A and B are shown apart, each in its own frame.
Chain A
Amino acid sequence: MTEVAVLGVGMHPFGKFEGKSVGDLCRTAVVAALADAGISWREIEAVAAASSRFSGGKGWGLNGNDVVEDMGSTGVPVYNLSAGCSAGGNALNVGYTLVASGLHDVVLVVGGEKMPKGFIQTSGVEEKTDPEFLRQRCIGVSGPAFWGMLCRRRMEDYGTSEEHLAKIAVKAHANSVHNPYARFRKPFTLEEVLKSPMVCFPLRLYEICPVSDGAAAAILCSARFARRKTSKPVWVASSTVATARFDDGVTRHLAAVSPKGRTMHSEAKIAVEKAFERAGLGPRDLNLVELQDNTVYYELAFPEEWGLCSEGEAERLVEKGETVPTGKLPINPSGGFQSFGEATTAMGVFQVAELTWQLRGEAGGRQVPHARVGLGQTIGLGGNATAVVLKS
């Protein structure tokens, strides 16, 4: 295995862009990443692209071949990876593997999305063999309702208050003010969040992420190639992919086996723990985390499921403001999904862009002081998850 560096990153700002195609968004991100890496398109040896196919063929997503055709067809291999909201992380992992294996020196990882309006529609077929169709037709449980169930149980178990939830959203937007790529760049008060409409009790509009258009790209390369281009590369310490365990307590279909313990989000826990193990690093080495905050609930559940804090401690960290960029455990200094909105396939790559800027000390007003090690994590429909550890 050869060491893998992040040589360059680039993004298209997130928002709603009526006049632009997903290709337009990706081109902006790819051109920016190439410029950041100081290389030309012709030097890219392979492309790993994220594609967001869901259950029953539902999805939008990127076709990596379109990006290659747009940039100039050089005959390079293209890998289109599908893993719901985790697809960007999957593409990153495949790009990483292609370089780490020694097969390629320079690889482009790209994710981009033009999202339809409103709630994400998770099934595109009317077939009783499709579990997502059954969930929606027989029950009618939207994504936010699902997060709401998980959040509500936590509130009962750990005394999480409405203020805790709102405070996480306030923190996200306070960070996004300093991020030129974020869709929502205005600060929110606790009162504004608490007065936003209830979408799926107990979660309010400003406590879940909307959908956005956006794109992100990263150039990964071998250590040999990196040293020719820069004296201070950012390294991929590890990159992992995992799927959910059979005994996970989060029902993915109409039912699951009742878990023996509190096993939840096992796919994310496995991915993160493996990422730590392979990097030879642990929670204490982390300076910042970019985690998938589709809902503020995840910022409470994930840190303790991964051992970043003890059980029930997450609310105390929020109360004390320890998750802000200058706190003990900075979470989502980018502003997170709350401030960007989700462009599904771009998210795993967006996290790598933010971590790279943070580790280079280029994050401006949202910079985490002395950031040397960062964790990124995604979770996607169907029991998918990824993790990546970057180090300077």
Chain B
Amino acid sequence: MSQRIPVIEGLFAERSDGPRLIGSRCTTCATPYFPKSPVCHNPGCDQSKMEDAAFGPTGVLFSFAVQNYPPPPPAKYDEPYRPYAVGMVDLPEGLRVLGRIATDDFSQLRGGLPVHLIVDRMYHDSEGNEVVTWQFRPAPVLAQADDRRMKP
């Protein structure tokens, strides 16, 4: 029977209070890391002391682009290929995270748009399993008409 499986284990969790990215933080300098880092890479930090941390579920879109053409391996996608948006999202925890932007209406996307973390389908593997990954969905409240939009 087909299952819902994470694209890579250990990068995100679906908790009762919503999805989170799984990372870590240095308790000396407060630098956040995603994915988890065994040590702190901040050259200004004198003592690496790492603890587990979870990030999300809210963020603000910094920028986005549309993958209009199918990406090369090792990316995977279901046929027929459908363009999707990717973006950089600034989290309040001080992280800028890459991820898919879960919307078909690319024209609503712009920097500063509030987004929230979800876990959703990316592709199906050879056994028919639904492979899921972390994504950011535009918060519905600000997804309103804007005449300055550029049509992707």
* Per-residue B-contact encoding for A133-171, CB less than 8 Å = 1, 0 else: 111111111101111111111011100001000000000
Residues of A within 8 A of B11 (CB): 134, 138, 254
| Complex: A135 Cα to B106 Cα, angstroms | 21
> Which residue of A has the minimal Cβ distance to B32?
A257
* Per-residue A-contact encoding for B83-111, CB less than 8 Å = 1, 0 else: 01011101100111111100000100011
Interface check A35, CB cutoff 8 A: no
Determine whether the beta carbon of A255 is less than 8 Å from that of B95. Answer: yes
Determine whether the beta carbon of A142 is less than 8 Å from that of B71. Answer: yes
Whether A139 touches B98, Cβ cut-off 8 Å, given contacts A202-B152, A258-B90, is yes
Q: Which of B11, B65, B67 has the most CB of A within 10 A?
A: B65
Determine whether the beta carbon of B68 is less than 8 Å from that of A251. Answer: no
Determine whether the beta carbon of A256 is less than 8 Å from that of B87. Answer: no
Determine whether the beta carbon of A246 is less than 8 Å from that of B43. Answer: yes
B83 CB to nearest chain A CB (Å): 8
Determine whether the beta carbon of A200 is less than 8 Å from that of B63. Answer: no
Which of A40-48, A119-127, A349-357, A367-375 contacts its partner? A119-127
Q: Using C-beta atoms within 8 Å of the partner chain, give the interface range for chain A.
A: 35 or more
Residues of A within 8 A of B122 (CB): 138, 140
Determine whether the beta carbon of A118 is less than 8 Å from that of B72. Answer: yes
Whether A251 touches B97, Cβ cut-off 8 Å, given contacts A140-B86, A201-B152, A246-B43, is yes
Q: Using C-beta atoms within 8 Å of the partner chain, give the interface range for chain B.
A: 35 or more
| Complex: A156 Cα to B62 Cα, angstroms | 10
| Complex: A135 Cα to B44 Cα, angstroms | 27
Please pick, from B7, B63, B66, the residue contacting A198 in the complex, using a CB distance under 8 A.
Answer: B66
Determine whether the beta carbon of A145 is less than 8 Å from that of B150. Answer: no
Determine whether the beta carbon of A140 is less than 8 Å from that of B95. Answer: no
Interface check A249, CB cutoff 8 A: yes
Determine whether the beta carbon of A139 is less than 8 Å from that of B100. Answer: yes
A194 CB to nearest chain B CB (Å): 13
Determine whether the beta carbon of A152 is less than 8 Å from that of B71. Answer: no
Query: Could you jot down 16 A-B contacts, CB within 8 Å?
Result: A118-B72, A128-B9, A137-B7, A139-B133, A140-B100, A141-B86, A145-B86, A156-B111, A197-B68, A198-B68, A200-B66, A203-B65, A255-B97, A256-B96, A257-B32, A257-B42
